Amino acid sequence: MKKYLSLLVVACMVAFTVACNQEGNAGDSGNSTDAPDATKTEVKTDATNAADPNAATEEADTGPKTTIEFDEMTHDFGNIKEGDKVSHVFKFKNTGNEPLIINSAKGSCGCTVPEWPKEPIAPGGDGQIKVEFNSKGKKNKQTKTVTINANTDPNPTRLTIKAEVEPSPESAAADAAKKDAKPAGK
């Protein structure tokens, strides 16, 4: 319902802006086909800015929309030791009718680093995003995300990695020392 309401608001804004431009360009014959495209982009950018000021530029530059389908959206590394570096490859397919262009892929923290294709993926084409997780300084249950901004609908797409990180002996000793150092009653 929220998606349809947003589309209705954008459609009304476009209609209003086009009507205003036609009134202002009444003496301009021959340029009327250019105004709606420029107006549409302007309205789209303004509507996007209201939700996320940084997303407007990325979305405006992506062009036609396509769809993406991943073999899996979540990967669980299971039990690993603190300090281990592990990686996983998320495979995907461009299931739309336009070339897929990935503008960016960002990990939720510096310990999660994605690598993604920089060139467009043709309709029906396959690709992959490699995600490396560095568990140094991490312990216990970890859940991290990778946010992918592309010319997809919906956008962005989020992948998730999980791990149960066994604390290193040094880390476990430091935790025990902190626990012993706490004053009584706290």
- Over residues 108-114, the mean pLDDT reads 96
Whose tokens are 């789209």? That residue is 44
Q: What is d(CA 143, CA 157) in angstroms, rounded to the nearest whole number? A: 16
What is the reported pLDDT for 95? 97
- Over residues 87-114, the mean pLDDT reads 97
- Over residues 7-22, the mean pLDDT reads 43
Task: Give the H/E segment covering residue 56.
Answer: helix 55-60
Residue 75 pLDDT greater than 60, yes or no: yes
CATH superfamily name and code, 68-169: Immunoglobulins (2.60.40.10)
Least trusted range by pLDDT, from 48-57, 111-120, 124-133? 48-57
Domain edges within the chain: 2-60, 68-169
| Cβ atoms of 42 and 17 closer than 8 Å | yes
